[in-house]
């Protein structure tokens, strides 16, 4: 009987250790993202290195949300008349709440993979890849809009 109680305590402690380790990893990922988004640099002026587990932790990105920092940010002091506009911009920048796993996960994984592959290329080729992807996206959006316009025209024709 005493052995069972001892085993339960070990499981409880192991679970707490795992929770603590996960919290450390999650917080480190947040800090790494914050550093990369703010363009933080070292004392010598070079960009900060990527966190060593950042690639492995990329799977949590779809489930993370951007929170507005409630602390006073001295670098963003604005006049009273522009505060309303900046609040609207911050709301527009906020990510939607983390979506449920589903149909878009494969698309996100695809683009994350393309991103990682593109990062290994020289800057000149990275720019070419970005330009080609953007061109393809713009063509697809134009085609979709044309299809929408055509289907609306057909619906209107049926009702006239």
Task: Kindly tell me if the per-residue pLDDT of 27 is higher than 70.
Answer: yes
**Tens digits of per-residue pLDDT, 78-116?**
544 444 444 444 444 444 444 445 555 778 888 888 888
**pLDDT, mean of residues 11-32:** 84
Predicted local distance difference test score (pLDDT) of residue 87: 47
Task: Kindly tell me if the per-residue pLDDT of 21 is higher than 80.
Answer: yes
Task: Kindly tell me if the per-residue pLDDT of 132 is higher than 50.
Answer: yes
DSSP-derived secondary structure for 82-134? HHHHHHHHHHHHSPPPPPPSSTTHHHHHHHHHHHHHHHTS-HHHHHHHHHHHH
> What gap in Å lies between CA 28 and CA 20, rounded to an integer?
12
Predicted local distance difference test score (pLDDT) of residue 136: 92
Q: Considering the entire predicted model, what is its pTM? A: 0.36
**pLDDT, mean of residues 12-35:** 85
Predicted local distance difference test score (pLDDT) of residue 47: 75
Predicted local distance difference test score (pLDDT) of residue 76: 52
Predicted local distance difference test score (pLDDT) of residue 114: 87
**Model confidence band, residue 138 (pLDDT cutoffs 50, 70, 90):** very high
**pLDDT, mean of residues 59-77:** 67
């Amino acid at each position: 009987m005493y052995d069972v109680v001892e085993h339960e305590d070990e499981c409880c402690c192991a679970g707490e250790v795992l929770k603590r380790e996960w919290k450390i990893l999650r917080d480190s990922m947040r800090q790494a993202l914050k550093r990369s988004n703010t363009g933080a640099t070292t004392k010598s002026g070079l960009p900060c290195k990527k966190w060593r587990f950042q690639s492995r932790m990329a799977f949590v990105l779809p489930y993370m949300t951007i929170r507005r920092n409630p602390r006073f940010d001295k670098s963003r002091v604005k006049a009273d008349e522009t505060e309303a506009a900046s609040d609207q911009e911050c709301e527009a920048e906020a990510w939607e709440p983390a979506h449920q796993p589903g149909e878009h996960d494969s698309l996100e994984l695809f683009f994350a993979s393309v991103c990682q592959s593109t990062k290994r290329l020289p800057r000149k080729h990275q720019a070419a890849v970005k330009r080609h992807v953007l061109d393809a996206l713009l063509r697809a959006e134009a085609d979709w809009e044309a299809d929408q316009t055509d289907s609306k025209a057909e619906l209107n024709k049926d009702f006239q």
